[in-house]
């Protein structure tokens, strides 16, 4: 080949490379793309409908249907209200008509747009009314949406985009309730971690104090009195369990994310912090031993790691898969390259999830939150809106079909 054609070929290659966006997208960029989506636009449409400012027919129709479910959830011990497919589709039809307004609200990139709605629905008095600002409401919805989705008593089919949207706008540094801040941070880490946005999850987990000391009895008593109107005297053990929950949930979610993203080395730090929380509370069992064995073998004390893995192998409670994984790790303990190859990430991730959710129950955080009128109201909004959005997706083949008015409920 002569010099001239070769030069032209090189120039062409450089031109292609120059125009190629080959760099890896950041977690922030991936997040922004995920939340600019139809379920979020419908979620914002629901918020707009629940605010009394809108007086057109479509808004009133949507508000009436949504408030009926919210009011049912606010009743004592109502929990998550049941919503059938037809009712969900009916609400979704109303929201679909308002989706353009929801999209416009999203495009404004303002935490206070749409306006906060909990003040309107709850009609709180005194200090609670002042504290339910936009940032605090985003945190309340983040916690409410996540609990509604993962708690076995609720199991509301919440679209993942809604969780990510509320996580994005939740700023723990700007939340009115001191007790909400660390809980919101843990839930942000969980939402990001389960969406493979590991670096964002790690940012939240890193902000949780290593010792899990995030609550005081005075702090919890103060906030619960404002929210419930009754005086509460938490025990020291309650604050310790709640702090351990925050640390376990945030760090466990982050570790699980890195393991599933095939980056086990990055999982070691949050895994170790998670285990430190369980150790401080005296929590024992084959799950803790398995994780401790892995962490110490990967980046710590191999002798301690071997001891813990042998305890898993000898455990009557451990599953065959856990025992097999422990034997593989034991054979490669202290050998980083070989250890990574032997790692059964699915088993490790399932153990992390099991321990994190166990802490959720031990802490009593969820049940305490669900007992408040504020939480029941949030669950009502979440059930009415989130479940409707998710269930209505099955009523039409695609959102595009609905938009064109060709098929399904939305087209009628």
Residue 158 in this model has a pLDDT that exceeds 60: yes
Query: What pLDDT shows up at residue 59?
Result: 81
State the burial class of residue 372 (Cβ atoms within 10 Å of its Cβ: 0-12, 13-18, 19+): middle
Question: Cα separation of 352 and 180, whole Å?
Answer: 24
Query: What pLDDT shows up at residue 19?
Result: 52
Query: What pLDDT shows up at residue 74?
Result: 67
Mean per-residue pLDDT for 104-118?
91
Q: Which residue would you say has higher pLDDT here, 290 or 411?
A: 290
Closest CA to 79 of 151, 154, 157, 158: 154
Residue ranges making up the domain that contains 68: 35-74+81-169+373-412
Q: Which residue would you say has higher pLDDT here, 179 or 389?
A: 179
| 114 domain residue, yes or no | yes
Number of domains in the chain: 1
Residue 126 in this model has a pLDDT that exceeds 60: yes
Q: Which residue would you say has higher pLDDT here, 260 or 369?
A: 260
| 265 domain residue, yes or no | no
The stretches of 283-387 forming alpha helices (DSSP H) are 286-299, 302-314, 320-331, 336-342, 345-363, 365-370, 373-381
| 215 domain residue, yes or no | no
Residue 187 in this model has a pLDDT that exceeds 80: yes
pLDDT band at 346 (very low <50, low <70, confident <90, very high): low
Query: What pLDDT shows up at residue 268?
Result: 86
The stretches of 108-179 forming alpha helices (DSSP H) are 118-122, 127-131, 134-150, 160-169
Q: Which residue would you say has higher pLDDT here, 57 or 4?
A: 57
Residue 400 in this model has a pLDDT that exceeds 90: no
pLDDT band at 53 (very low <50, low <70, confident <90, very high): confident
| 311 domain residue, yes or no | no
Residue 231 contacts by C-beta under 8 Å, 6 or more apart in sequence? Answer: 221, 225
State the burial class of residue 234 (Cβ atoms within 10 Å of its Cβ: 0-12, 13-18, 19+): middle
3-state secondary structure (DSSP) of residue 81: coil
Mean per-residue pLDDT for 207-213?
81
Mean per-residue pLDDT for 54-72?
77
Mean per-residue pLDDT for 204-225?
83
The answer to which of 193-202, 270-279, 342-351 has the lowest mean pLDDT is 342-351
Q: Using an 8 Å Cβ cutoff, are 251 and 193 in contact?
A: no
User: Rounded to two decimals, what is the model's pTM?
Assistant: 0.78
| 233 domain residue, yes or no | no
pLDDT band at 32 (very low <50, low <70, confident <90, very high): very high
Helices (H) then strands (E): counts for the chain? 24, 0
- Cα 116 versus chain centre, distance: 21
| 395 domain residue, yes or no | yes
Would you give the DSSP letter of residue 172? G
Closest CA to 275 of 351, 207, 350: 351
Residue 66 contacts by C-beta under 8 Å, 6 or more apart in sequence? Answer: 46, 49, 50, 91, 381, 384, 385
Read off the pLDDT of residues 273-299 as tens digits, 9 standing for 90 and up.
888 877 776 677 878 888 888 888 877
pLDDT band at 81 (very low <50, low <70, confident <90, very high): low
Any idea which residue has 């109201």 for tokens?
377
Mean per-residue pLDDT for 49-64?
78
Phi, psi of 2 (to 5 degrees): -75, 170
Written as six digits, the tokens of 110 are 């303002």
Residue 308 contacts by C-beta under 8 Å, 6 or more apart in sequence? Answer: 289, 290, 292, 293, 296
Mean per-residue pLDDT for 318-322?
80
Query: What pLDDT shows up at residue 201?
Result: 97
Query: What pLDDT shows up at residue 410?
Result: 27
The answer to which of 24-28, 89-93, 180-184, 327-331 has the lowest mean pLDDT is 89-93
Supply the Cα-derived Rg of the chain in whole angstroms. Answer: 24
Q: Return mean pLDDT, the chain.
A: 77
The answer to which of 27-31, 72-76, 300-304, 378-382 has the lowest mean pLDDT is 72-76
| 91 domain residue, yes or no | yes
């Amino acid at each position: 080949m002569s010099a001239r054609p070769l030069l032209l070929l090189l120039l062409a290659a450089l031109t292609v490379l120059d125009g190629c966006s080959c760099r890896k997208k950041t977690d922030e960029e991936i997040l922004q793309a995920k939340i600019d989506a139809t379920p979020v636009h419908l979620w914002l449409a629901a918020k707009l409908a629940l605010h009394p400012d809108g007086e057109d027919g479509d808004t009133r129709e949507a508000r009436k249907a949504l408030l009926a479910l919210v009011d049912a959830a606010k009743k004592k011990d109502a929990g998550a209200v049941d919503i059938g497919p037809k009712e969900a589709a009916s609400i979704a039809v109303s929201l679909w008509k308002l989706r353009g307004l929801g999209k416009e609200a999203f495009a404004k990139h303002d935490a206070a747009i749409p306006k906060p709605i909990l003040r309107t629905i709850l009609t709180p008095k005194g200090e609670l009314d002042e504290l339910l600002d936009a940032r605090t409401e985003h945190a309340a919805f983040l916690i409410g949406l996540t609990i509604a989705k993962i708690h076995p008593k609720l199991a509301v089919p919440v679209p993942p985009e809604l969780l990510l949207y509320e996580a994005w706008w939740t700023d723990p540094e700007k939340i009115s309730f001191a007790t909400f801040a660390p809980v919101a941070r843990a839930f942000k880490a969980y939402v990001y971690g389960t969406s493979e946005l590991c670096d964002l999850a790690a940012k939240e987990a890193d902000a949780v104090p290593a010792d899990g000391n995030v609550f005081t009895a005075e702090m919890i008593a103060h906030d619960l009195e404002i929210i419930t109107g009754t005086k509460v005297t938490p025990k020291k053990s309650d604050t310790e369990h709640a702090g351990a929950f925050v640390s376990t949930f945030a760090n466990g979610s982050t570790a699980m994310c890195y393991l599933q993203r095939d980056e086990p080395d990055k999982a070691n730090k949050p895994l170790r912090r998670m285990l430190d929380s369980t150790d401080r509370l005296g929590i024992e069992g084959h799950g803790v031993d398995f994780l401790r064995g892995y962490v110490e073998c990967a980046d710590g004390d191999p002798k301690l790691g071997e001891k813990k893995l042998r305890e898993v192998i000898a455990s009557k409670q451990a599953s065959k898969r856990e025992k097999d994984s422990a034997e593989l790790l034991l054979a490669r303990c202290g050998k980083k390259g070989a250890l990574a190859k032997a790692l059964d990430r699915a088993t490790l991730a399932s153990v992390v999830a099991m321990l994190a959710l166990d802490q959720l129950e031990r802490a009593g955080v969820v049940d305490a939150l669900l007992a408040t009128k504020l939480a029941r109201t949030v669950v009502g909004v979440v059930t009415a809106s989130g479940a409707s959005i998710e269930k209505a997706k099955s009523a039409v083949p695609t959102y595009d079909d609905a938009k064109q008015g060709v098929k399904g409920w939305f087209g009628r």
